[in-house]
């Protein structure tokens, strides 16, 4: 009877080599999945920044209309921030990664985004932004304060 119990206890469970092989395969597959998501994450980060910046500019326009006060979007590449402000007072500030995102002067400068009390932009023109070595142009149209972002 003891011999029968000993044989049963030896056959239960997995051996150490079996566990090591299984865990090795699992860790290799996990590593492959993580590597394949990195380009997807970078593309999502880029699109998120552009969408967020677009929403912030729309907010500045809506704020100018609702308060009746000129509202500016001030960009600082050195600090890695942009801020929505009225009367030179920053209402809020948003940070960005200034290593991978860089604003450049087009036909308007990085401090020329200003909406008047009626929602019209004070200067029309283009502003250039480079995000992860891809260039985009932000075009501000004269009139209703509309703008769009296009990839170059």
According to the model, what pLDDT value does residue 9 have? 55
Under CATH, domain 15-151 is a member of which superfamily? minor pseudopilin epsh domain (3.55.40.10)
Place of tokens 């985004």: 113
pLDDT at 112: 86
- Predicted confidence at residue 69, as pLDDT, reads 92
**Burial (Cβ within 10 Å: 0-12, 13-18, ≥19) of residue 109:** middle
Determine the Cα angle at 112 with ends 88 and 59, to 5°: 70
- Mean pLDDT of successive 10-residue stretches along the chain, which has 152 residues: 55 78 86 72 83 91 92 90 89 85 89 89 91 90 86 89
Q: Is the dihedral of CA 36, 38, 41, 42 positive or negative?
A: negative
Instruction: Give the integer Cα–Cα distance in Å for 105 and 103.
Output: 7
Check: CB of residue 115 under 8 Å from CB of residue 145. yes
User: What's the pLDDT score for residue 84?
Assistant: 92
CB 59 within 8 A of CB 83: no
**Which sequence spans correspond to the domains of the chain?**
15-151
Query: CA distances (Å), 109 to each of 9, 58, 88, 128, in order?
Result: 78, 18, 17, 9
d(C-alpha 50, C-alpha 135), whole Å:
11
Structure confidence at residue 139 (pLDDT): 93
pLDDT of residue 137: 93
Q: How far is residue 63's CA from residue 77's CA, in Å, rounded to a whole number?
A: 24
Give the model's pLDDT for residue 92. Answer: 85
Query: From CA 27, how far away is CA 94, in angstroms rounded?
Result: 38
Residues 6+ apart with CB under 8 A from 125: 106, 107, 108, 112, 139, 140
pLDDT of residue 135: 93
């Amino acid at each position: 009877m003891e011999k029968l119990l000993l044989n049963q206890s030896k056959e239960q469970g997995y051996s150490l080599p079996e566990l090591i092989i299984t865990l090795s395969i699992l860790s290799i597959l996990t590593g492959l999945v993580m590597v394949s998501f990195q380009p997807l994450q970078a593309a999502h980060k880029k699109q998120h920044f552009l969408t967020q910046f677009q929403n912030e500019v729309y907010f500045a326009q809506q704020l100018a209309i609702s308060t009746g006060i000129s509202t500016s979007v001030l960009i600082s590449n050195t600090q890695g921030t942009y801020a929505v402000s009225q009367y030179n007072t920053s209402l809020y500030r948003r940070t960005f990664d200034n290593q991978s995102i860089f604003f450049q002067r087009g036909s308007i400068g990085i401090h020329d985004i200003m909406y008047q009390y009626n929602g019209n932009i004070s200067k029309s023109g283009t502003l250039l932004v480079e995000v992860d070595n891809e260039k985009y142009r932000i075009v501000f149209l004269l009139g209703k304060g509309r703008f769009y972002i296009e990839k170059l």
